[in-house]
Amino acid sequence: MRAIQMVDTKTQYLKIKDQVTEAMQAVLDSAAYIGGKAVQDFGVALNTYIGSGYTIPCANGTDALQIAMMALGLQPGDEVITPSFTYIATTEVVALLRLTPVFVEVDKDTFCISPEAIRAAITPKTKAIVPVHLYGHSAPMEEIMQIAKEHNLFVIEDNAQAIGCDYTFTDGTVKKTGSIGHIGCTSFYPSKNLGAYGDGGAIFTNDEALAEKIKMIANHGQKVRYYHEMVGCNSRLDALQAAILNIKLKKLDEYNKARQIAAAFYTKAFSGCGWITTPAVADYSMHVYHQYTILLDGLDRDELSSYLSAKGIPNMIYYPVPSHKQKMFAGFDFGDLQLPVTDWLTERVISLPIHTELDEEQLTFITSAVLNFKN
Ligand SMILES: *Cc1c(COP(=O)(O)O)cnc(C)c1O
């Protein structure tokens, strides 16, 4: 059996090695190391794939979120509602821009932000909601957009973990996550579902004026070179990464399918097991399994984790500390904020290897080992 990895980017790469070499060589030969054809082509292809009005590639997913908040003109003191149960990048940029993070609860089944919790957290200072499509499952976007409309709020989707995920509205309309909110953000970090071989990110919007502003902010606040209209930053998708992503975007649906097949194998194997809750999939969302995360009931997670590691089965806790308990936010006064569902999930989640290259032998080995831990 091949060694099991949490994410096997190497085996995936070897299957497209020749194409990648050729595409990277073309960038080197063109000497267009910043911007150029590869970045432009990828922006266009990704825009078509997501079904967005405008797509602006940038340097990484964290920048995408920061630029989105800057483009919406959010000011210090404005409140931004986000889940606490997420990767730190979502909420870090809120604090970085001196906005006020308002952490709310997630749904205990989908792990995504709860619309009821959003409603309860809205104040006159609320300006934006940042739903996170955690682990590859969409947040309940239809209801979130409705709340945003009622209260005149902006919605920034953190789509870093769910690129390629379809959201189905009650009228049957299907849209890709990232194209639904006022702005969508994504990341091409190597382990993401559409991963580069370095950093990368992109910003989506259907609003032309906003797209112009996003482009400007990502480029030192300039539309015309050396005339800087506003404070921006320097956030560019690298040309070599764009060339790689152009190849991988064509395979994204196939990659997500492979993740779904591996996930289905796990879910079937664990279906009769009383101490494992397998990932829920809501009727409005596809699941693209950026992570395959189970919930444990009544057993020691650390013991299971060490037991699996000893058998050569990597496993991870995403995320051991919720955002609202991070020292980073010690300067904020959250009152006596209680997020019991978030705390409960934080203590019980464990993620198993999931990627495009898992074979049946590996999956059988992993599921047998997990089930044998406790009969
Ligand atoms: C990966 C990730 C990001 C940040 O992406 P980077 O490209 O690493 O900056 C943001 N939000 C979530 C939920 C992520 O998983």
Q: What is the pLDDT of residues 113-163, one digit of tens each?
A: 999 999 999 999 999 999 999 999 999 999 999 999 999 999 999 999 999
281, 275 Cβ separation under 8 angstroms: no
CA of 61 to the centre of ligand 1 (A): 5
Q: Where are the domains of the chain?
A: 9-249, 252-372
Nearest to 151 by CA among 127, 171, 167, 168: 127
Q: Can you tell me which atom of ligand 1 is nearest the CA of 90?
A: 11
186 within ligand 1 shell (Cβ under 6 A): no
Q: Can you tell me which atom of ligand 1 is nearest the CA of 189?
A: 7
| Ramachandran angles phi, psi of 272, nearest 5° | -90, 0
Which pTM value belongs to this model? Answer: 0.97
Q: Can you tell me which atom of ligand 1 is nearest the CA of 132?
A: 13
Nearest to 130 by CA among 167, 149, 94, 156: 156
Query: What's residue 59's pLDDT?
Result: 98
Whole-Å CA distances, 126 to 18, 132, 186, 322: 50, 18, 23, 21
CA separation for the pair 310, 307 (Å, rounded): 5
3-state SS assignment for residue 75? coil
Q: Whose CA is nearest to atom 6 of ligand 1?
A: 61
Query: What's residue 374's pLDDT?
Result: 87
106, 114 Cβ separation under 8 angstroms: yes
Report the topology of domain 9-249. Aspartate Aminotransferase; domain 2 (3.40.640)
| Ramachandran angles phi, psi of 243, nearest 5° | -65, -40
Query: What's residue 375's pLDDT?
Result: 65
Q: What are the 10-residue block averages of pLDDT along the chain, 375 residues in total?
A: 96 98 97 95 98 98 98 97 97 96 98 98 98 98 98 98 98 98 98 98 98 98 95 98 98 98 98 96 98 96 98 97 95 94 97 98 98 88
CA of 124 to the centre of ligand 1 (A): 29
CA of 130 to the centre of ligand 1 (A): 13
Nearest to 318 by CA among 354, 281, 275, 349: 349
187 within ligand 1 shell (Cβ under 6 A): yes
291 within ligand 1 shell (Cβ under 6 A): no
Q: Strands 100-104 and 79-83, how do they pair?
A: parallel
CA of 171 to the centre of ligand 1 (A): 31
152, 178 Cβ separation under 8 angstroms: no
CA separation for the pair 46, 23 (Å, rounded): 17
For domain 252-372, say whether CATH 3.40.47.10 is its number. no
